[in-house]
Amino acid sequence: MNRFSICLFVVALLLSACETEPQLMNPDADPTMFVFACLDLNSGKHQVRVRQAIQEEGDVRVSAQNPELILPLEPIRVSLIIRNNQLSDTLYFDPLVYPKEEGAFSSEQNIIHELEFQIQPGYEISLLVEGLISGYKCTARAPYMKPPVFTHPRNWYHWTVQEYRFTNKDEPFHVSITSMGAVCKLLTEIKYLDVLKNGDTIYQKAVFAGNPYFPFSGTYNKVFELSYLFNIFNAVIPDNPEVKYRKFYRFHFKAWKGSGALAEYLHFGQRHTDNRKLYFSNINGGYGLFYSCCYGEINDIAPLWYFTETLNSSPATSHLKFIKWRHDGEYIDPDTANIQPIN
């Protein structure tokens, strides 16, 4: 994945991870597993976190420092089962050790099971987590989803041509997401150049992540209006007194969606902040969530001249110091490892 894909994938994980880490479990419950699993249908890189559900009373953040309470009590095997037309195949995840992460499960032994496999449409997808000593099993299913698509407002004379150069001043283009109960999230990346007062030029990127949207059926259509885009500029472009002027370069848009299980879980978690949300799970034989995600994108969009002219002259954005001419020369992609999407 490129850096922007990784950034998007992290956003997807953060969107759900904050809602899927249990605080306290029922101390009378039998030992069980907590499973957080995500299928990335674009990149084919799938990740599964398996933890032992905490059975003790007390502060979960303190308990989480003890690997014996967090990690499974026995060796486990994680596999993905795909079926199509009476044929099936079983793929096995590899356990990998990652650096310590923040959050409730912040144990030093951060083990994540990973698998790289491009899943094709039409497959039934199942997850299986097995205890190799006890025979304990957790299972779950996740659907394959079609990625979102971007469409230009139709021109009756050239309706088959999709253009992304903002030929419509009021509604540059649309994003269309067939939801099937999915949760949707839009990301906008702005590429531009800062020209400093001392003459230095800095290549910049800024990322804006919209709020999640929960259409439970049908199609979600988002219209990009100039006012929406200018609000994004104001949200992500910093006020730097050392900048003499700025040059706009290109847009990069992504529309991300997660399957219905994630949408329902997050929607449920918004209504209930207590332990009731712990018992919402699509993991059979354990707690947690198994969902699939995908995205659609369009990159390096160069709008027509009047966009940058309006960006320069509009009272809403003139203070951002963009000149009215678009930059079409060399652009060196900056290191975006530390870019944090703004919600």
320: helix, strand or coil: helix
Written as one letter, the residue type at 245 is: Y
Q: 5 pLDDT band (50/70/90 cuts)? A: very low
196 in the same domain as 113: no
In this structure, what token pair is assigned to residue 216? 């439970």
198 in the same domain as 91: no
pLDDT at 335 over 70: no
pLDDT at 8 over 70: no
pLDDT at 158 over 50: yes
| Tally of structural domains, the chain | 2
Task: Assess if residue 190 is contained within a domain.
Answer: yes
98 in the same domain as 12: yes
Task: Assess if residue 327 is contained within a domain.
Answer: no
- Between residues 78 and 19, the one the model is more confident about: 78
Q: 126 pLDDT band (50/70/90 cuts)? A: very high
237 in the same domain as 183: yes
189 in the same domain as 65: no
Name the residue among 309, 301, 313 with its Cα closest to residue 325: 309
* Cα separation, 236 vs 341, whole angstroms: 9
205 in the same domain as 164: yes
251 in the same domain as 263: no
User: Side-chain half-sphere of 142: how many Cα atoms within 13 Å?
Assistant: 29
Percentage of the chain modeled with pLDDT above 90: 32
Range of the domain at 250: 149-256+302-320
What pLDDT does 224 receive? 76
Q: What is the mean pLDDT of residues 152-173?
A: 61
110 in the same domain as 34: yes
By 3-state DSSP, what share of the chain in percent is helix, strand and coil, each rounded to 5? 20, 40, 45
| DSSP code for 213 | B
268 in the same domain as 228: no
What pLDDT does 4 receive? 37
137 in the same domain as 87: yes
Phi, psi of 275, deg, nearest 5: -70, -5
Task: Assess if residue 331 is contained within a domain.
Answer: no
pTM for this predicted structure: 0.73
Percentage of the chain modeled with pLDDT above 70: 67
Q: What is the mean pLDDT of residues 42-52?
A: 88
Mean pLDDT score of the chain: 77
Task: Assess if residue 336 is contained within a domain.
Answer: no
Task: Assess if residue 228 is contained within a domain.
Answer: yes
209 in the same domain as 134: no
What pLDDT does 73 receive? 77
- Between residues 199 and 106, the one the model is more confident about: 199
218-252 pLDDT, tens digit per residue, is 676 777 788 888 999 999 999 999 999 999 999 99
Task: Assess if residue 126 is contained within a domain.
Answer: yes
Task: Assess if residue 329 is contained within a domain.
Answer: no
Task: Assess if residue 76 is contained within a domain.
Answer: yes
**Poorest-pLDDT segment among 53-67, 97-111, 238-252:** 53-67
231 in the same domain as 172: yes
* Cα separation, 318 vs 309, whole angstroms: 10
Distances in Å between the alpha carbon of 316 and those of 116, 308, 319? 45, 13, 8
* Cα separation, 156 vs 146, whole angstroms: 27
* Beta bridge pairs of residue 255: 186, 296
